[in-house]
Structure 1
Amino acid sequence: MLNRDQYSYLFSREITPLIIPKEQVVVIDPDWSLERALLVLTRKGTNSVPVINNEDQVEGVISKTDILDFMLRTSKDSKIDFTALAHYKVKEAMNKNHSGILANSIFSFAFEVLINRSYIPIIDIKGKFVGILTRKVMMEKVIEYFKEEYMKTLADRS
């Protein structure tokens, strides 16, 4: 059985080593057309990416679903006119509720934020985008931690 100190060891650690750096992250500019954004999302095989402005700040995230929902809202007959994608900007359809968390945030805080998201943008103290933290990376770390604890428990029993 794990004691409180063992739990706090994992959940009080900083997320810094788990961050995927911005150089490895697909991002989209808020002034791009929705057509270009959908093309990038489709070609990169991802559902959602951060929207980063010219000052390297997170303005939100954009997903295929955000684009399709926006196009349905703007259509007159509940049909999506894909030719209209070129006439709208990413900033019109993006989700602005994903501003990011600080790179030195602790594991437990990030874990809670990621419960309902597949990733979260990571920012520095000046609000600049530094990368993302994925739920997958967090879950892998938790699994790794509990495997180590399980092996220690087995070793202590022998």
Structure 2
Amino acid sequence: MQKRDETSYLFSREITPYIIPREKVVTVNTDWSLKRALLVLTRNGTNSVPVINNKEQVEGVISKTDILDFMLKISRGNEIDFSQLSEHTVIEAMNKNHSGILANSIFSFAFEVLVNQSYIPIIDLKGELVGILTRKVMMEQVINYFKEEYIETMTGKFQK
């Protein structure tokens, strides 16, 4: 059981090794038009991306749904006027509740935050984007952890 003692720290270790670096993350800027943001989301095949300001600080996230909800809110009736996408900026429609967590956060905290999100922006102490952490990567780590635990348990039963 020595090996299990060494790996049992998964939930208390830092998330740093699991972060997708900034260079690989698609972002949009707060002052971009909603049209430009929607094009970036669509062309990159993603539903949501971090929103950064001109200082590279995370301001929130924006999704296709956020854009459509905003357009519905400002439209008259139930018709969305897509010609207005160019007249409004990302900062008007983005979700400001997801500004990120620090890169040295522990696994259990990040895991809890990711329960209701597909990813979370990872920031430094200045609020600048370091990268993102995805729910998929976290779930893969948990699955591997429990696979190892199961194998050790089964191996122990057969050795007795």
TM range (shorter): over 0.9
AA at the equivalent of 1:128? E
For 2:123 and 2:94, locate their aligned partners in 1 and report how far apart those are by CA, in whole Å.
18
Q: 3-state SS of the aligned residue for 2:14?
A: coil
- Is 2:116 aligned against 1:116? yes
For 2:8 and 2:59, locate their aligned partners in 1 and report how far apart those are by CA, in whole Å.
33
Where do 5+ consecutive residues of structure 1 fail to align? none
For 1:64 and 1:155, locate their aligned partners in 2 and report how far apart those are by CA, in whole Å.
48
Equivalent positions of 1:66-81 (< 5 A) are 66-81=66-81
- Is 2:84 aligned against 1:84? yes
2:136: which partner in 1?
A: 136
| TM-score normalised by structure 1 residue count | 0.94
2:31: which partner in 1?
A: 31
For 1:74 and 1:6, locate their aligned partners in 2 and report how far apart those are by CA, in whole Å.
55
Superposed structure 1 runs of 4+ greater than 4 Å apart? 5-8
Equivalent positions of 1:44-59 (< 5 A) are 44-59=44-59
For 1:45 and 1:157, locate their aligned partners in 2 and report how far apart those are by CA, in whole Å.
47
For 1:155 and 1:71, locate their aligned partners in 2 and report how far apart those are by CA, in whole Å.
58
Identity rate, percent: 74
AA at the equivalent of 2:117? R
Give the superposition deviation at 1:124. Answer: 1.1
AA at the equivalent of 2:138? M
Give the superposition deviation at 1:8. Answer: 5.3
Give the superposition deviation at 1:6. Answer: 7.5
AA at the equivalent of 1:91? I
2:127: which partner in 1?
A: 127
| TM-score normalised by structure 2 residue count | 0.93
1:156: which partner in 2?
A: 156
Give the superposition deviation at 1:126. Answer: 2.1
For 1:73 and 1:47, locate their aligned partners in 2 and report how far apart those are by CA, in whole Å.
20
Q: Deviations over 1:11-66 (max 9, x none)?
A: 10100000000100110011110001001111111100000111110001000000
RMSD value, Cα: 1.5
For 1:33 and 1:126, locate their aligned partners in 2 and report how far apart those are by CA, in whole Å.
25
Could you say if the C-alpha distance between residues 14 and 110 of structure 1 is closer, same or farther in structure 2, counting changes exceeding 3 Å? same
For 2:6 and 2:46, locate their aligned partners in 1 and report how far apart those are by CA, in whole Å.
36
Where do 5+ consecutive residues of structure 2 fail to align? none
Give the superposition deviation at 1:110. Answer: 0.4
Q: 3-state SS of the aligned residue for 1:141?
A: helix
For 2:104 and 2:112, locate their aligned partners in 1 and report how far apart those are by CA, in whole Å.
15
Q: Deviations over 1:90-132 (max 9, x none)?
A: 0000000001000000000001101101100000122211000
